[in-house]
Copies of this chain bind each other. A is one copy, B any other.
Amino acid sequence: MRYLRNTWYVAALDIEVGREMLSRMILGEAVMLYRKLDGTAVAVIDRCPHRFAPLSMGKLIGNNVQCGYHGLQFDCSGKCVVNPHGDGKIPRAAQVKSFPLVERYGMLWIWMGDADLADAELIPAYYSHFDSPDWKTVRGHSFQEANYQLIADNLLDLSHDQFLHANYHRKDAFLTTPHEVFVDGTAVVSRRQVLNSIASDAFAGNLPDPKLLVDQWKIMRWEAPGYFLLDLGVRPSNDPQAPGLCKRNAHILTPATETSTNYYFINARNYQRDDEKVDAQIREWQRIGFGEQDKPMIEAIQRGMGKQDLFDLNPILLSVDGAAVRARRHLEKLLKAQDEHEMQATLAQSAITHA
């Protein structure tokens, strides 16, 4: 399968990685993550170059990984630094691929493409509020047996809320509100707004007066390969300067294989930040809404589709599909550009060889 390679993917939440090695499939490759003694997280291929044992079955010795099979040690750049056998000489090819890894905004970002291009400034800064004390986050990770684009379709068409998550959206100001879909630079945005109405279920319980008239918004922003920012909130209609109750949530999709995805979600709110009951409500929504409503539906679709492409199956298109279709087309354009670039690189390489 083709994946966008020269881009940052989330490899794990920061809290998932420590002094126990974590093996995670990313773009079809087994990657192993751990933290050095100074806390820096690193990522290498989870396969010893000697007999192909998963390195994650070995153990950490200081900053190095010792293979659990024959004891070769690799430093965090993937270079073999100890060969306990014979004269101890280290074969030149004894090297595990390592990956640029950056810890930022509570996540570990990995670069699976050309390491020379790995520029940390490309990590989307619109997740920076997760570091701010003005926002309280509740985070999670789910492994889903579905292609990441099927999950993206789900996120880009929140009109499914009122059906798949009907129990959470009995009273929802957005049910009949049209989506405005537009392209903003490299992002696809789907926006809904409702003015002067009572608040949706999602916020009503957190307002001092649930009957207060509010302006409400729900804006999903997508960028390739699978970054989502969901900005939603309510603000008293009679006080346009009020900060209101806001959420700025991340949904981030990292392809594991062609038919599976590591899905990371971070819920961030600017209100009742110390209220653990609100935390618990959000956790419950992540568990039920994502885990017991979205996940079985999307996985059933994946099983039914097998490895066929969505568009090859001639789906009918509805007004609510605008964002998902635009995102799929944009991603396809990026993949074609990557193909083109790789072909030219191959040709250039071949010219050099023949020169």
List chain A positions with a Cβ less than 8 A from chain B: 30, 47, 49-54, 57-58, 66-72, 83-87, 91, 93-94, 153, 157, 159-160, 162-164, 178, 296-297, 300-301, 304-305, 310, 313-321
Contact = CB atoms under 8 A, between A and B. Distances in A.
A188 to B, nearest CB: 17
6 contacts: A54-B301, A66-B163, A68-B163, A83-B318, A85-B318, A91-B318
Contacts of A52: 301, 304-305, 310, 313, 315
Contacts of A163: 58, 66-71
B315 A70 contact: no
A57 B313 contact: no
A58 B166 CA distance: 12
Contacts of A157: 70
A162 B71 contact: yes
A158 to B, nearest CB: 10
A153 B50 CA distance: 11
A320 B86 contact: yes
Given A47-B304, A53-B297, A318 B86 contact: yes
A162 B66 CA distance: 12
Contacts of A164: 68-69
Q: How many copies does the complex hold?
A: 3
A57 B163 CA distance: 11
A288 to B, nearest CB: 15
A315 B49 contact: yes
A316 B160 contact: no
A72 B52 CA distance: 49
A159 to B, nearest CB: 6
Given A52-B304, A304-B30, A304-B54, A68 B318 contact: no
Q: Most chain-B CB neighbours within 10 Å: which of A58, A84, A318?
A: A318
Contacts of A297: 53, 57, 68-69
A313 B47 CA distance: 11
Looking at A66, A310, A319, the one whose CB has the most chain B CB atoms below 10 A away is A319
Nearest to A150: B51
* Those 6 A-B pairs whose CB atoms lie nearest each other, nearest first: A86-B319, A71-B163, A91-B316, A85-B320, A93-B316, A49-B316
A89 to B, nearest CB: 8
Given A71-B162, A163-B67, A153 B51 contact: yes
A66 B315 CA distance: 17
Contacts of A53: 297, 300-301
A66 B300 CA distance: 17
Given A30-B304, A160-B69, A163-B69, A314 B93 contact: yes
A83 B305 CA distance: 23
Given A69-B164, A160-B69, A162-B71, A87 B319 contact: yes
Nearest to A294: B69
A260 to B, nearest CB: 15
Nearest to A157: B70
Nearest to A313: B52
Output the residue of A51, A58, A164, A304 with the most chain B CB within 10 A: A51
B50 A300 contact: no
A136 to B, nearest CB: 31
Contacts of A321: 50
A91 B93 CA distance: 59
